[in-house]
């Protein structure tokens, strides 16, 4: 666990780095408009929009707008194209980024397998999206509040959530911070400012906006809110609510879309017809927008750094779209080769994989040591396997926990129902798995 | 007892979300029975609610008040002058989106700040149903207590108003009564409204206050001007009696009070009238004690009969008071139809239907 403890320490040092980033300008589209706007004295007086009149009928086409470009720092061979964009992270930080990605990847592989063996009930991997988790988390401060969807475990890894905490949650045992109430991968941590995950998609989005609004009003607020969601979730009404509330109410929140091309089996071209999620930001909701290569940890890092600075300075939101590819199946209940070719997956799992890219960068830097890394992976494997054995044996919380936390204090009717169950179990204990639960 | 006749003003006329022009007819199916509570300031229900929110915003600097058209004072005037007093950062309009309002409120409450969110009509609360049922109600439970949104209160105008038709008349309390984790309360007048709102704002659980909108102007009482709270989860016995227990909430309480008087004067039947006040969690002790005493129970509500909250009360009373009951528990409710426009007088569980139910249950 010593490496992880070091990670927490490092988190602060990375976040403290003061850098002047000039990335953001390059990331924004120079959208070509088919009509030219004249100075404002020519504008019409409608309250609903400020715009000039035109005397020729012109249907505005989606094609009239150039797609928002994808900001990238490092190419697929691990070379930095424009030196001015090099975040100049120390070897120590880059190694933590790499190792956290590897840790997540290794833990995912083993927990995925353990679900296949029926040891945990459910799992969702993060394959292919490790860089967007780690890159974004590294650019934030611990005090920034995170709302996630469910495929952001890397953010927790970066913040120092421990292997045992992940695995205890998946088992819902007595050490699970969530007290065994939710399905696996629904993590949460008060200490790490990571709001507990829930299954209904996008519900966290307007919540993140509300939290950002409340935080903005605190004297000397220096924390923002980051809300992660997939491109499928962005089709929900709550996403619209969040974008619009964030813009109109001036909320310092980064709306971070993980666009990985699929929502379970639904490809993104069946999800929307516009220019991705980023395309909705500037014209649609009046929100400053960034689109990045989500397989490039440095691009994500730079853009998040700039986004964080912007939202706190301006008290306004940012729409952040990280493009990647969901390399793994949607979940353990899904076989993704039923709706996409294996060869396609393979490309994203090798040359285009975020871990491979960062590894190539480290090789060029002379920071990569094959033997050390193999040892590290072996060590993580051992830790995860050992933890599974430990977590599996731990008792589940006392079954009375089921009635706790519905309300701040237990109301009479729940006390009554709990005692009804107590009597029932006392009379029929042989039919219940009592030995697996704390007394 | 000082009886204030309910006159439905044109409050709704100014605030319908559609472009329809409604006939300004005045009708009321109830006579308002004020709760007398010593001295105070004469207030109608929207004044009392305004006063409650004023006190809440003053007492708690983190408190925020928001919703559609809240800024200029609200379509029912409940938030009038509050933006001027507390600033547009604390009292503000949101975009027209109920799921957004509910989600935003949960987020505010997640940080520990106090959120007072208004949904303009109960009929429009359904877009936020997911946020309220799946999120607000389950926040504390699902996180093992790591996070909650307990500092959140929804204020929601509800109930019949004479001409509100399908989407300005609904009483959706039963939908929410099926959701563990929520508190649902309904005031019967100004004093109760102020006490319940202040109690809900302070309560560490997400709360919904359904405010019968027909009472906003019609109900006038002497409301204490200082800060006070009304006990949550507690029913009020408004009239003691030995023959029949009448249970209602919101406007219906006033129908039942009139019915009880008529039953006494015309038939010498002695009715006990109980305002349930809290729908969830509800006061089983007061209700069962009364049911055991009288042996006859009538529950009346404006919402449709099937799966209305009366069903829960009836089955609980039947289960806990079986040996004391002299007649089947009777429900007088809205019919199982959408809430109609011109047929409202025939839809309502009015005093005549309630009185007839008393006759039935006594002669069973």
pLDDT digits (tens, 9 = 90+) for B31-49: 999 886 667 899 999 999 9
Q: Which helix (H) or strand (E) holds B184?
A: strand B183-185
pLDDT of amino acid B24? 40
Catalytic residue (one of B163, B168, B254, B301): B168
Report the percent of chain B where pLDDT is more than 70.
92
Q: Are A367 and A219 found together in one domain? A: yes
CB of B24 within 8 Å of a chain A CB? The answer is no
B313 has pLDDT over 50? yes
Q: Given B90, B95, B183, which is nearest A248 (Cβ)?
A: B95
| Domain contains A66 | no
- The predicted model gives A64-75 an average pLDDT of 96
CA-based R_g, chain B, Å:
20
Q: DSSP state, A285? A: I
Q: Does B281 touch chain A (CB under 8 A)?
A: yes
Is residue A289 assigned to a domain? yes
Contact A178 B94 (CB under 8 A): no
Q: Is residue A103 part of a domain?
A: yes
Do both A297 and A201 map to the same domain? yes
The reply to whether A179 and A265 lie within a common domain is yes
A74 lies in some domain: no
- Residue in this structure with the two tokens 């990375």, named with its chain if needed: A14
* pLDDT above 90 as % of chain A: 89
A vs B, Cβ pairs < 8 A, gives 155
Both tokens of residue B357?
Answer: 């139910």
User: A12 or A238: which carries more pLDDT confidence?
Assistant: A238
Mean pLDDT, to the nearest integer, of A320-344? Answer: 93
Residues of chain B with pLDDT > 90, as a percent, come to: 90
* Structure confidence at residue A43 as a pLDDT band (50, 70, 90): confident
* Domain shared by A227 and A291, yes or no: yes
Indicate if A7 belongs to the active site: no
Using the Cα atoms of residue B203, residue B208, residue B212 and residue B217 in order, give the sign of their dihedral: positive
pLDDT tens column, A201-210 = 999 999 999 9
Residue A328 included in any domain: yes
pLDDT of B6 strictly over 60: no
User: Is the residue at A214 inside a domain?
Assistant: yes
Q: Between vectors from CA A56 to CA A51 and to CA A61, what angle results, nearest 5°?
A: 70
Q: What average pLDDT does range A54-66 have in this prediction?
A: 94
Do residues A307 and A417 both lie within one domain? no
Q: What is the pLDDT of residues B204-229, one digit of tens each?
A: 999 999 999 999 999 999 999 999 99
- Residue B35: its pLDDT value, please? 83
Residue A356 known to be catalytic: no
Do A385 and A404 have their domain in common?
no
Q: Please provide the DSSP assignment of A222-283 as one string.
A: ---EEEEEETTGGGSHHHHHHHHHHHHHT--EEEEEEE-SEETTEEGGGT-SSSTTGGGIII
Cβ–Cβ below 8 Å for A145 and B100: no
Q: Which residues contact A301 (CB under 8 A, 6 or more apart)?
A: A87, A89, A135, A136, A138, A139
pLDDT tens string A359-414: 999 999 999 999 999 999 999 999 999 999 999 999 999 999 999 999 999 999 99
Residue that the structure tokens 């976040």 belong to: A15
Least confident of A26-35, A120-129, A256-265, B139-148: A26-35
Asked if B104 lies within 8 A of A200 by C-beta distance, the reply is no
The answer to the question of residue A56 being in a domain is no
- The answer to whether residue A287 scores a pLDDT higher than 90 is yes
Measure B69 CA to nearest chain A CA, in Å.
14
Among the partner residues B108, B142, B183, nearest to A210 by beta-carbon distance: B108
Catalytic residue among A113, A314, A375, A416: A113
Instruction: Say yes or no: B68 contacts chain A, CB-CB below 8 A.
Output: no
Kindly report the nearest CA distance between residue A246 and chain B, in angstroms.
9
Is B65's pLDDT higher than 50?
Answer: yes
Do residues A311 and A382 share a domain? yes
* Eight-state DSSP code of residue B32: B
- β-strand partners of A229: A257
Q: How many domains does chain A have?
A: 2
Radius of gyration of chain A (CA): 24
A106/A170 same-domain check:
yes
Would the CB atoms of A181 and B141 count as touching at under 8 Å?
A: yes
DSSP symbol at A347: H
Give the β-pairing of B41-44 and B64-67.
unpaired
Does the pLDDT value for residue A154 go beyond 70?
yes
Tens of pLDDT along B228-282? 999 999 999 999 999 999 999 999 999 999 999 999 999 999 999 999 999 999 9
Q: Is pLDDT at A35 greater than 50 in this prediction? A: no
**Mind telling me how many Å the CA of B291 is from chain A's nearest CA?**
18
Question: Are A304 and A190 contained in the same domain?
Answer: yes
pLDDT mean over A47-53 = 93
- Nearest CA-CA distance, residue B284 and chain A, Å: 8
Q: How confident is the model at residue B28 (pLDDT cuts 50, 70, 90)?
A: confident
Structural domain including A431 reads: 399-436
| Chain B residues touching A400 at Cβ < 8 A | none
The helix or strand, by DSSP H or E, that contains position B360, with its residue range, turns out to be: helix B351-362
| Percent of chain B as helix, strand, coil, to the nearest 5 | 35, 20, 45
Pick from B62, B100, B180: CB nearest A406 = B180
Q: Enumerate the residues of chain B whose CB falls inside 8 A of the CB of residue A404.
A: 145
Cα–Cα distance for residue pair B238/B88, rounded to 1 Å: 41
Q: What is the pLDDT of residue A28?
A: 37
Instruction: Answer whether B99 sits within 8 Å of A241, measured CB to CB.
Output: yes
pLDDT band, very low/low/confident/very high, at A216 (cuts 50, 70, 90): very high
Give yes or no: residues A384 and A426 share one domain. no
Q: Would you state the pLDDT for residue B158?
A: 98
- Residue A44 within any structural domain of the chain: no
Using CB atoms, pick whichever of B92, B146, B233 lies closest to residue A188: B146
Answer yes or no: do A423 and A378 share one domain.
no
Q: What is the mean pLDDT of chain A?
A: 91
- Over residues B74-125, the pLDDT tens digits come to 999 999 999 999 999 999 999 999 999 999 999 999 999 999 999 999 999 9
Instruction: Read off the tokens for B297.
Output: 């129970």
Q: Does the annotation count A113 as an active-site position? A: yes
- List A133, A186, A329, A330, catalytic entry: A330
- Cα A414 to the center of its chain, rounded Å: 36
CATH number, position A256: 3.40.50.970
Same domain flag for A425 and A301:
no
**How confident is the model at residue A42, as a pLDDT?**
75
């Amino acid at each position: 666990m010593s490496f992880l403890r070091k990670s927490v320490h490092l988190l602060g040092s990375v976040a403290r780095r003061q850098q002047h980033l000039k990335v953001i300008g390059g990331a924004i589209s120079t959208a070509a408009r088919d009509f030219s706007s004249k100075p404002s004295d020519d504008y019409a007086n409608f309250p609903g929009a400020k715009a000039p009149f035109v005397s020729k009928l012109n249907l505005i086409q989606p094609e009239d707008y150039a797609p928002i470009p994808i900001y990238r720092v490092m190419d697929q061979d691990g070379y930095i194209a424009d030196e001015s964009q090099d975040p100049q992270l120390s070897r120590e930080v880059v190694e933590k980024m790499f190792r956290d990605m590897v840790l997540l990847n290794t833990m995912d592989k083993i927990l995925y397998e353990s679900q296949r063996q029926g040891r945990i009930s459910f799992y969702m991997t993060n394959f292919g999206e490790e860089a967007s988790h780690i890159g974004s988390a590294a650019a934030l401060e611990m005090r920034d509040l995170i709302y996630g969807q469910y495929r952001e475990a890397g953010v927790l890894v970066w913040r120092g959530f421990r292997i045992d905490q992940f695995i205890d949650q998946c088992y819902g045992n007595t050490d699970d911070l969530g007290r065994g109430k939710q399905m696996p991968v629904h993590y949460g941590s008060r200490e790490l400012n990571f709001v507990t995950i829930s299954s209904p998609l996008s519900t966290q989005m307007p919540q993140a906006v509300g939290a950002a609004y409340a935080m903005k009003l605190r004297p000397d607020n220096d924390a923002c809110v980051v809300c992660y969601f997939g491109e499928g979730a962005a089709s929900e009404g709550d996403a619209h609510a969040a974008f619009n509330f964030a813009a109109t109410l001036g909320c310092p929140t980064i709306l971070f879309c993980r666009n990985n091309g699929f929502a379970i089996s639904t490809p993104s071209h069946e999800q929307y017809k516009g220019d991705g999620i980023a395309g909705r930001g500037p014209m649609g909701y009046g929100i400053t927008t960034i689109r990045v290569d989500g397989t490039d940890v440095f691009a994500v890092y730079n853009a998040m750094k700039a986004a964080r600075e912007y939202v706190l300075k301006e008290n306004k939101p940012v729409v952040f779209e990280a493009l990647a590819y969901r390399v793994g199946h949607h979940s353990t209940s899904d076989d993704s080769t039923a709706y996409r070719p294996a060869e396609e997956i393979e490309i994203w799992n090798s040359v285009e994989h975020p871990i491979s890219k960062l590894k190539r960068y480290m090789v060029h830097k002379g920071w990569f040591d094959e033997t050390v890394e193999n040892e590290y992976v072996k060590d993580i494997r051992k830790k995860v396997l050992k933890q599974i054995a430990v977590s599996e044996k731990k008792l589940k919380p006392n079954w009375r926990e089921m009635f706790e936390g519905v309300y701040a204090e237990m109301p009479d009717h729940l006390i009554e129902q709990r005692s009804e169950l107590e009597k029932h179990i006392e009379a029929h204990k042989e039919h219940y798995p009592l030995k697996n639960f704390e007394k | 007892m000082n009886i204030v006749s309910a006159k439905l003003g044109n409050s709704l006329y100014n605030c319908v979300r559609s472009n329809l022009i409604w006939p300004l007819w005045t009708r009321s199916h109830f006579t308002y029975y004020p709760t007398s509570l010593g001295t105070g300031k004469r207030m109608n229900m929207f004044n009392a609610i305004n006063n409650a929110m004023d006190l809440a915003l003053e007492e708690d600097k983190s408190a925020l008040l928001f919703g559609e058209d809240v800024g200029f004072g609200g379509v029912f005037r409940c938030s009038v002058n509050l933006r001027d007093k507390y600033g547009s950062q604390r009292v503000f309009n949101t975009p027209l989106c109920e799921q957004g309002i509910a989600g935003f409120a949960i987020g505010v409450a997640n940080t520990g700040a106090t959120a007072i969110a208004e949904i303009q009509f109960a009929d429009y609360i359904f877009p936020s149903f997911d946020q309220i049922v799946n999120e607000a109600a389950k926040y504390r439970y699902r996180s093992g207590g790591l996070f909650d949104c307990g500092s959140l209160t929804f204020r929601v105008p509800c109930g019949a108003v004479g001409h509100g038709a399908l989407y300005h008349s609904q009483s959706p309390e039963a939908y929410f009564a099926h959701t563990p984790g929520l508190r649902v309360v309904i005031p019967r007048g100004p004093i109760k409204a102020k006490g319940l709102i202040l109690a809900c704002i302070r309560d560490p659980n997400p709360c919904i206050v359904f405010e019968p909108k027909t009472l906003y102007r019609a109900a006038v009482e002497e409301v204490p001007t200082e800060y006070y709270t009304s006990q949550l989860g507690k029913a009020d016995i408004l009239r003691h009696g030995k023959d029949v227990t009448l249970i209602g909430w919101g406007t219906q309480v006033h129908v039942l009070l009139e019915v009880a008087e008529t039953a006494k004067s015309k038939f010498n039947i002695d009715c006990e009238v109980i305002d349930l006040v809290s729908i969830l969690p509800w006061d089983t002790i007061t209700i069962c004690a009364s049911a055991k005493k009288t042996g006859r129970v009538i529950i009346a509500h404006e919402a449709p009969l099937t799966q209305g909250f009366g069903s829960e009360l009836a089955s609980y009373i039947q289960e806990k008071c079986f040996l004391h009951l002299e007649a089947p528990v009777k429900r007088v409710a809205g019919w199982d139809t959408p809430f109609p426009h011109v047929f409202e007088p025939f839809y309502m569980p009015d005093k005549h239907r309630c009185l007839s139910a008393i006759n039935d249950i006594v002669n069973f």
